[in-house]
A and B are shown apart, each in its own frame.
Chain A
Amino acid sequence: MKIDFFNKCKPFIVPALFICLVFTGCTSTNQEQITDKRDPFESTNRKIYAFNDKVDTAILEPVAAGYNKIVPKFGKEAISQHINWVGLPNTAINSGLQGKWENLALSSLHFSVNALTFGFANLLPEEEPPSKQDLGKTFAVYGVSEGPYVVLPLLGSRTSRHAFAQIVNMMLNPYAIFEDETIRQANLMQPVLSTVSWRAANFDLINSVKYNSLDSYIKARSAYYQSRFGQLQSIEAGPSEADDLFEGLYKEG
Chain B
Amino acid sequence: MPASASKIENAETIVTELLSELKVIQKNSVSIEQKKEQFLNLVYGFFDTILISKASTGPYWRTATDDEKIRYTDLFCQLIANITSSQIGDISDFEFTITSSIPKGEEMVLVLGELNAPGNSFEEISIRWRISTPNMDTAKIIDIEFENISMLVTQKQENIAIIRKNGGAFSALIEAMEKQLNQ
B120 and A33 contact, CB distance less than 8 A? no
Q: Which of A47-55, A105-113, A216-224 contacts B (4 or more CB under 8 A)?
A: A216-224
| One of B87, B104, B153, B164 near A245 (C-beta < 8 A) | B153
Residues of chain A contacted by B157 (CB below 8 angstroms): 35-36, 218-219, 221-222
Residues of chain A contacted by B173 (CB below 8 angstroms): 214
Chain B interface, number of residues (Cβ within 8 angstroms):
43
Residues of chain A contacted by B8 (CB below 8 angstroms): none
- CA of A205 to CA of B88 in the docked complex: distance in angstroms? 11
A205 and B146 contact, CB distance less than 8 A? yes
Q: Which of B120-160 contact A (CB under 8 A)?
A: 120-122, 130, 142-143, 145-150, 152-154, 156-160
Q: Which of A215-248 contact B (CB under 8 A)?
A: 215, 218-219, 221-223, 226-227, 229-230, 240-243, 245-246
- CA of A240 to CA of B82 in the docked complex: distance in angstroms? 27
Residue-wise, chain A 192-217 has the 8 Å CB interface mask toward B (1 for contact) of: 00000000111111001001111100
B130 and A246 contact, CB distance less than 8 A? yes
Q: Does B64 touch A at the CB level, under 8 Å?
A: no
Residues of chain A contacted by B159 (CB below 8 angstroms): 214
Q: Does B162 touch A at the CB level, under 8 Å?
A: yes
With A201-B121, A204-B120 known as contacts, the answer to whether A215 contacts B154 (CB < 8 A) is no
Q: Which of A126-149 contact B (CB under 8 A)?
A: none
- CA of A200 to CA of B123 in the docked complex: distance in angstroms? 12
Chain A interface, number of residues (Cβ within 8 angstroms):
34
B55 and A35 contact, CB distance less than 8 A? no
Residues of chain A contacted by B145 (CB below 8 angstroms): 242
CB distance from A211 to the nearest CB of B (A): 8
Q: Does A58 touch B at the CB level, under 8 Å?
A: no
Q: Does A1 touch B at the CB level, under 8 Å?
A: no
Residues of chain A contacted by B150 (CB below 8 angstroms): 226, 240-242, 245
Q: Does A68 touch B at the CB level, under 8 Å?
A: yes
Q: Does B86 touch A at the CB level, under 8 Å?
A: yes
CB distance from A210 to the nearest CB of B (A): 11
| One of A68, A204, A226, A246 near B149 (C-beta < 8 A) | A226
Residues of chain B contacted by A204 (CB below 8 angstroms): 87, 89, 120-122
With A213-B158, A214-B176 known as contacts, the answer to whether A245 contacts B152 (CB < 8 A) is yes
B83 and A212 contact, CB distance less than 8 A? yes
A250 and B107 contact, CB distance less than 8 A? yes
Residues of chain B contacted by A14 (CB below 8 angstroms): none
B161 and A35 contact, CB distance less than 8 A? yes
Q: Does B177 touch A at the CB level, under 8 Å?
A: yes
Residues of chain B contacted by A249 (CB below 8 angstroms): 51, 54-55
Interface residues, chain B, with chain A CB atoms under 8 Å away: 51, 54-55, 79, 82-83, 86-87, 89, 104-105, 107-108, 118-122, 130, 142-143, 145-150, 152-154, 156-162, 164-165, 173, 176-177, 180
Interface residues, chain A, with chain B CB atoms under 8 Å away: 33, 35-36, 68, 73, 200-205, 208, 211-215, 218-219, 221-223, 226-227, 229-230, 240-243, 245-246, 249-250
A-B contacts, 9 of them at CB < 8 A, read A73-B119, A201-B122, A211-B86, A213-B158, A214-B177, A223-B149, A245-B150, A246-B108, A250-B108
Given A203-B121, A212-B87, A241-B150, 8 more A-B residue pairs with CB atoms under 8 Å apart are A205-B146, A208-B87, A214-B177, A221-B157, A222-B149, A226-B154, A245-B150, A246-B104
